[in-house]
Amino acid sequence: MTSWILSTAFPIYNLIENGKKTYDTRAPDPTNPQKRLDQAKKGDIAVIIPALSSVSEPLDSSVFPTLKYEISDIQHFPPNKNEEWESVAKRTLEHIGLEKIFPNHSLEKAIEVYRSFPNYPQRIKDYGLVAIGLGRRL
**How many domains is the chain partitioned into structurally?**
1
Share of the chain above pLDDT 90, in %: 70
Name the β-bridge partners of 131. 25, 75
Contact 92, 100 (CB under 8 A): no
Classify residue 90 as exposed, middle or buried by CB count within 10 Å of its CB (0-12, 13-18, 19+): middle
pTM over 0.85: yes
**Each residue of 118-131: pLDDT tens digit?**
889 999 999 999 99
Domain encompassing residue 90: 3-137
**Each residue of 31-73: pLDDT tens digit?**
887 788 889 999 999 999 887 655 555 555 566 688 999 999 9
CATH number of 27's domain: 2.30.130.30
